[in-house]
Amino acid sequence: MFITDSKPILVIGVGGCGCSTLQALKKKHDFAEIRFLAINTDLRSLRGNVADDTIQIGQSLTNNLGAGANPDVGRLAAIESEAEISKAIEQASIIFMTAGMGGGTGTGAISEVARIAQNHNIPVIALVTKPFSFEGMKKARFAEDGINALQQYCNALVVLPNDRLSKVLGGKVRLIDAFKISNQLLLDTLSGLSFMLSVTGLINIDISDFKTVIHTQGFASVGMAKAKNASDIETAINRLLDNPLVENIDISSAKGAIINIVSQHELALDTYHLIGNIIQQRISAEANLIVGLTIDPTIKNAIEVFLLTTGIAFNPKPILQVCG
């Protein structure tokens, strides 16, 4: 039972890539407190999608087809279907959105969906991918413009450059496995958020705390540190803070952070302090830091730490760089 708020968390996949990510997440984990919404121009791609709800946007504009890799078509399609989108999202407490930037529908429509959510005063966290550099300058410019437009309407933005998948995982890794790594970040985020907001802990974090921390717009860093035993937690947290898959941002400028610690057993005081100190040393002393703690014997690891840092300043220069 979702005890903190009668309104659900809504996860929206926009465009082909976003809807595929949604499909993978929904099949892997059934979140009782979360609803999934797939938004796309391509009617065929929406058929069979396991999301709770689907919206085909821009029917008259695209004639049931895709956006033809044109972000302007994606944007206009979302505007055409604004009333339907507005109705579908108006009851959400928080919205997570995901899309692959550089194409047509996701790139053009995601900022419009975020704008509609902002009109309803619903906090928005967006997680998007940037294209591989070999996909060309045109796609790179589309992605850059789409991300810059999205910044205006979301509270927190996480950017995953696909090029980093190759650098971190190596060129021999299967493409499908590489994309699973990106999906896992969103899955961990949703799992951590769902648990944090639906379970009463020893030290509780509720939806009001969450909204306070993401009130300031900016880039974000989000994820889960998992340790098989207490002695490994420092390494796990530092690995999370230095996540090589996320856009290069300086978390020391973060204006807010949520740390939710889940432990299999009663947590030693020195371990609790260690977790807080590691993170506090990496962010501003002025940041609004909220810490939660829950004991849950059913988790797979000895300790799991959900971390969200927000309010990291948007870079005034283009944030997408293409390697030549």
Nearest CA among 169, 147, 94 for reference residue 125: 94
User: Over the stretch 244-279, which tens digit does the pLDDT of each residue have?
Assistant: 667 767 888 888 899 999 999 888 899 999 998 999
pLDDT confidence of 317, banded at 50, 70, 90? Answer: very low
The predicted structure's pLDDT at residue 170: 65
Buried b vs exposed e over 175-187: b needs ≥16 C-beta within 10 Å? eeebbeebbbbbb
pLDDT of 197 reads 74
Q: Give the separation between CA 161 and CA 156, rounded to whole angstroms.
A: 16
Per-residue pLDDT band for 87 (boundaries 50, 70, 90) equals very high
**Assigned token pair, 182:** 């990106």
pLDDT digits (tens, 9 = 90+) for 296-310: 898 889 999 988 888
User: How many CB atoms lie under 10 A from the CB of residue 274?
Assistant: 15
Structure tokens at 124: 């928005």
The string of DSSP codes covering 229-250 is SGGGHHHHHHHHHT-TTS----
Question: pLDDT tens for residues 200-228?
Answer: 778 888 888 888 888 877 888 888 899 99
Residue range 45-74: mean pLDDT, rounded: 90
Q: What is the pLDDT of residue 52?
A: 92
Tell me, what's the pLDDT at 315? Answer: 57
For a pLDDT cut of 70, what percent of the chain falls above it? Answer: 88
pLDDT at 55: 96
Which of 214 and 113 is assigned the larger pLDDT? 113
For the stretch 31-51, pLDDT in tens is: 777 899 999 999 888 988 889
Residue 323 has pLDDT above 60, yes or no: no
The more confident residue out of 220 and 183 is: 220
Give the pLDDT confidence score for residue 134 in this predicted structure. Answer: 82
Strand, helix or coil for residue 56: strand
Containing 200, the helix (H) or strand (E) segment is: none
Whole-number pLDDT of residue 117? 97
Kindly indicate the confidence band of residue 15, based on its pLDDT and cuts at 50, 70 and 90: very high
Distance between CA atoms of 57 and 39, rounded to whole angstroms? 7
Q: pTM of the prediction?
A: 0.83
Q: How far apart are CA 57 and CA 193, in angstroms?
A: 29
Domains and CATH numbers, the chain: 9-190 (3.40.50.1440), 205-312 (3.30.1330.20)
| Other Cβ atoms closer than 10 A to 283 | 22
Token representation of residue 38: 């797939």
Question: Whole-angstrom Cα distance, residue 122 to residue 124?
Answer: 6
DSSP code of residue 220: E
